[in-house]
Structure formats: structure tokens, C-alpha cells
Amino acid sequence: MRPHIAGSADIDDGSDQAAISLAAARWNRAVADCSYMRIEVLAPSADARPGYSSEGGNENVIYWVESGWLHDPAATGITTINFVDNPSREDDGRIVDADIELNGNFTFGSDTGDDVVDIQNVLVHELGHVL
């Protein structure tokens, strides 16, 4: 997964990027004995944007949508998975893209309190959808 370099507008100390790595590590430990899958967190990039193109060039990203949230307003995050859906193909079911969007209408933080959403908790949940 490649996070967008901007991270959350609510956080200016880098704890949003650290929470991504901690959430991935939590899943990697949890599935270590029962799966070959691992979540690798790549360096943040300004080019990391959600979306899928059948022409290729896709990257799995984590992105804060700070304005213009198009999904359920009650959702703190949403994971969109694109996969091969053709039973006649050998790679039927293979995930070809997975993007996590986080709802910037919520206040995210690593220290939860009144009206602050625990960023690591949300990311663990959304990464579970990826797995």
C-alpha cells in the first residue's frame, strides 16, 4: 500500500503515516501462521491517488479525502477492491487493485478523545477488507 504524502489534514506530526505502518504490522503478525499474504507499506507519494484503470498502472493506495467525500457520510473509511471476475480465466478472483479512502470530514488522531477518530483502528479495519 502506498499512502498519499499529505496524510490527514488533522495531523502534522507524522503519526498518521506511522499509524499506517502500525496497522499493517498488526495484520502481518495476525496472519503470519496462516497466510502467505503480507501488507507492505511503501514510501508516501504525492502521486498516490485512488482509482482503477483496466489499462494498468494501478497502485494500492491510502488516501485522505479532505473534501468532496462521495461515499456514505457516516463511514470513516471505505476500501474499494477491483478483482478479476471471470470464472473462465485462470486468475479469476485475483485482486488487481485495492484502495483505501479515509473520510476527512472526521477528525483523525492517534490520541483519541472527544470527536477524535483513532486512525490506527480505522486503518486496521480497512486493511482487513484488503486481506
Longest dimension (CA), the chain: 51
Query: Residue 25 and residue 97: Cα distance in Å, rounded?
Result: 20
Each residue's pLDDT tens digit, 28-83: 999 999 988 899 999 999 999 999 998 988 999 999 999 999 999 999 999 999 99
Q: Is 120 exposed, middle or buried (0-12, 13-18, 19+ CB in 10 A)?
A: buried
Query: Residue 106 and residue 89: Cα distance in Å, rounded?
Result: 41
pTM: 0.92
Query: Residue 39 and residue 130: Cα distance in Å, rounded?
Result: 9
